[in-house]
Amino acid sequence: MYKLETKIDTNSEEFKRNKEAFKSILDTYRETLREVKSSGHPSAIKKHKERGKLLARERVDLLIDPNTPFMELSPFAAYGQYDNQFPSAGIVTGIGVIHGKETVIVANDATVKGGTYMKETIKKHVRAQEIAMENNLPCVYMVDSGGVFLHDQANVFPDKYNFGRFFYNQARLSSMGIPQISIVMGSCTAGGAYMPAMSDETIIVKNQGTIFIGGPPLVKAATGEDVTAEELGGADVHTSISGVSDHFAENDHHAIQICRNIFETLRAREKQYIETTPIEEPAYDPEELYGIAPTDLKKPVDSREIIMRIVDGSRFHEFKARYAPTIVTGFANIMGYPVGIIANNGVLFSETALKGAHFIELCDMRKIPILFLQNITGFIVGKEYERGGIARNGAKLVHAVACANVPKFTVVFGGSFGAGNYAMAGRAYDPRLFFMWPNAKISVMGGEQASSVLVQVKQEQLAAKGQTFPKEEEEAMRKGILEKYETEGSAYYSSSRLWDDGIIDPVDTRKVIAMGIAMSLNQKFPEHKFGVVRM
């Protein structure tokens, strides 16, 4: 493969300006990340620690192999909503390595509303299990939760992907041979009791863990019986009388050690073979991405400049370099793993879609994971293009993206607008992981376009009645829509609602994608199979 050559002058004013603008985006990102990762209210943290308990992230750190990274997912969940009362939606999820095995870890944060589940908490938990299912990863649930956040019951209880889905998923995962381990480190009430009860193996911590279908107040109300939480469902009861739990732990540290011991008994499963190369840093410093990442989405960025700062040795075997230049396709390696890259370099035309679809077929046939680098305003519009069959050709790309059986990973480094989001493996297309850079924007179209469309619709409505749209009202409408799109299009707005798996520092893109590919190899890639493609 040839090394890509940069056309960017890192001493130029433009580069320095962009870097400066990006630095302020990055400062906000780091500060917000620190904030959402700091758990609940200090008084709740104090109470938690006084009980001899570790915080959720401390528990995760002890569970994973020393000096290995934990890929935390969606730490910004619920951020900017509910008066920020639910940092990280009160749950920590992610992928870590335990005794050499990539594992999905789900840990309740009891310092956030007793670790109870509201809408985004549920979404995070279900998403983590989905990742386990797609990638064949064992699950560890570090349970410390009061169950459903009762004020939000309509959003968490009855629907398909609500609370009940956890236990359904546990049964399905276990039936697929995917280990399900629970460590009960606190409350585990009502429906929550099924978390350990549905696990393959369960550990419970003395004087901390409790499991019951109805807690002491409910028992009192229902039967008049006076009983303490420990008598009703403590560690002693469940390991010596009921048999709901298998292992008795003295404290959090002991419980985590038992869980690690269980992992020693899990057998390795056959992985997808993939040819790797020795890891090599990019020839261009990844920190230069700060000077290149689009801070102004109107400014075009040659996506090769992004690629060369992500891939090993900055080497890229470009496919169809001279054809359909608004999409860049080619092969590279990231931390030794082979990857096919599809990156936007402008609007999607018919030939762009065909080039992308062809390239996806190559990756799928060769069993090479695909990385989508999104910076897309959408498909081209206009009479000439409609007559040229842009809808038919765009469909070929969408079809290829939907049916590709190799793992897909998506990173939005600029804009993600309209059907371009779909054609470039947006959330609905099941990429194994989907990340945004902090400068990224996502919405059905740009704010300016949306306001122009809506103003025009209004003008036509009024014109049909022989009226005109007063200038001030038109301006107010434009302004309102622009503001709405600005807010709703931000990476934080998206991440808060779990439309993605998290916001990442551009410099970490390499690491995150390599970890994603490593994780995906736990599931053998299915054979190449496409449906009917309209020619």
Binding residues vs ligand COA (CB under 6 A): 110, 113-114, 116, 146-151, 187, 189-191, 215
Q: How far is the CB of 79 from ligand COA (least distance, A)?
A: 18
Q: Measure the CA–CA gap between 310 and 508, rounded to whole angstroms.
A: 9
First to last CA, the chain: 33
CB of 208 to ligand COA, least distance (A): 11
Give the nearest distance from C-beta 346 to ligand COA in angstroms.
49
**Closer Cβ to ligand COA, 116 or 344, answer by number:** 116
The residue among 21 and 190 lying less far from ligand COA, judged by its C-beta, is 190
Q: DSSP per residue over 449-510, as a string?
A: HHHHHHHHHHHHHHHHTT----HHHHHHHHHHHHHHHHHHTBHHHHHHTTSSS-B--GGGHH
Q: Pick from 60, 36, 40, 61: which is nearest to 49 by CA? A: 40
Q: Burial, 61: exposed, middle or buried (Cβ in 10 Å; 0-12, 13-18, 19+)?
A: middle
Contact criterion met (CB below 8 Å) for 420 and 379: yes
Q: Which residues of 424-449 are buried (b: 16+ CB within 10 A; e: fewer)?
A: bbbbebbbbbbbbbbbbbbbebbbeb
Nearer of residues 113 and 396 to ligand COA, judged by Cβ: 113
Question: What minimum distance in Å lies between the beta carbon of 157 and ligand COA?
Answer: 8
Q: Based on CB atoms, which residue is closest to ligand COA, 138 or 215?
A: 215
**Phi, psi dihedrals of residue 14, rounded to the nearest 5°:** -60, -45
Structure tokens at 187: 């409350």
**Is the Cβ of residue 49 or residue 479 nearer to ligand COA in the bound state?**
49
Question: Which residue, 102 or 144, is less far from ligand COA as judged by CB?
Answer: 144
Shortest distance, CB of residue 146 to ligand COA, whole angstroms?
Answer: 3
Q: How far is CA 409 from CA 86, 162, 297, 471, in A?
A: 28, 26, 22, 46
Question: 231: how many CB neighbours lie within 10 A of its CB?
Answer: 12
Residue whose Cβ sits closest to ligand COA: 146
Residues in the chain, overall count: 535
CB-nearer residue toward ligand COA: 156 or 324: 156
Shortest Å distance, C-beta 216 to ligand COA: 9
Q: List, in sequence order, the alpha helices (H) in 136-201.
A: 153-156, 164-175, 194-197
Q: Would you say 146 or 489 has its CB closer to ligand COA?
A: 146
What is the closest distance, in whole angstroms, from the C-beta atom of residue 42 to ligand COA in the complex? 12
CB of 212 to ligand COA, least distance (A): 9
Is 400:530 a contact under the CB 8 Å cutoff? yes
